[in-house]
């Protein structure tokens, strides 16, 4: 049935499928090498483009990397990441275009961040102070966690901060549409610091800003890391009802 004629009121069970796609989404950190067909990827992008945007500007631009294009970028960024680890002063060469995280964490966000980080490392048996193992795990980001598909999202630098909100809605649609097709994803802000390497590699213009990266593919079913699911606070913790 065409999405243009689908009426949820005539198909109430559709809510179950939508909810299942949302609730089963998680950040996958180990993928198989099984390829994803371009037709499938194009279908995901097409339905995701129904995301809302201010004035219908649709400010997002998407770069899909597979094969050699993906592998070459992985080599470049991993080499830069290793160089920064060997000499922290090298980090000054790599700056993100916008502050994804705060300069100073406060409660309750600080506690949630720690719970997330140590929960993942604890599952993997990485103890506090094991810097080499932490570095290796962090670098998994720059290998797209072995996913065969890497995506990068940019917006034009002339756009306002609202474009980031619009792009986030578009990315969420991609993740949910991927789940509906039996695929998994991992949104990755880790790439942002290496925009100076990424943007020339993908052929982005001087007027484009890197928003985020994303790994997409088939989750590796037997990998321990994929059993890690982050908790969510209940609605009463973040909702104010006004009658």
Concatenated DSSP letters for 169-221?
Answer: HHHHHHHHHHHHTT-EEEEEGGGGGGHHHHHHHHT--TTEEEEEEEEEE-B-T
Provide the domain limits for residue 33: 25-93+142-223
How many domains is the chain partitioned into structurally? 1
243 in a structural domain? no
Mean pLDDT per segment of 10 residues, for the chain of length 243 residues? 59 84 97 98 98 98 98 98 97 95 97 96 96 97 98 98 98 98 98 98 98 98 96 97 96
- The predicted structure's pLDDT at residue 107: 97
- The predicted structure's pLDDT at residue 8: 66
42 in a structural domain? yes
- pTM (2 d.p.): 0.94
67 in a structural domain? yes
For 151, which DSSP code? Answer: E
- The predicted structure's pLDDT at residue 207: 98
Could you tell me the CATH number of the domain that includes residue 159?
3.40.109.10
45 in a structural domain? yes
Tell me the angle at which helices 14-23 and 162-180 cross, rounded to the nearest 10 degrees: 110
- The predicted structure's pLDDT at residue 7: 72
111 in a structural domain? no
116 in a structural domain? no
């Amino acid at each position: 049935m065409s999405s243009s004629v689908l009426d949820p009121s005539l198909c109430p069970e559709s809510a179950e499928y939508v909810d299942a796609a949302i609730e089963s989404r998680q950040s996958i950190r180990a993928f198989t090498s099984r390829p994803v067909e371009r037709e499938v990827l194009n279908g995901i992008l097409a339905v995701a483009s129904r995301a809302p945007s201010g004035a219908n500007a649709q400010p997002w631009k998407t770069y899909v990397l597979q094969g050699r294009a993906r592998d070459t970028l992985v080599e470049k960024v991993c080499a830069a990441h290793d160089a920064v680890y060997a000499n922290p002063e090298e980090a000054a060469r790599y700056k993100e275009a916008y502050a994804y995280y705060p300069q100073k964490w406060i409660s309750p966000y600080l506690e949630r961040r720690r719970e997330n980080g140590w929960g993942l490392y604890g599952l993997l048996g990485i103890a506090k102070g094991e810097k080499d193992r932490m570095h290796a795990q962090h670098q998994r980001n720059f290998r797209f966690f072995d996913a065969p598909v890497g995506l990068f999202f940019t917006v034009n630098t002339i756009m306002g901060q609202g474009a980031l909100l619009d792009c986030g809605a578009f990315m969420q649609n991609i993740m949910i549409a991927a789940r509906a097709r039996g695929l998994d994803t991992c949104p990755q802000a880790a790439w942002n610091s290496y925009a100076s390497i990424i943007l020339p590699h993908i052929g982005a213009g001087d007027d484009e800003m890197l928003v985020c990266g994303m790994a997409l593919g088939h989750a590796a079913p037997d990998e321990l890391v994929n059993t890690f699911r982050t908790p969510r606070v209940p609605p009463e913790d973040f909702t104010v009802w006004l009658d």
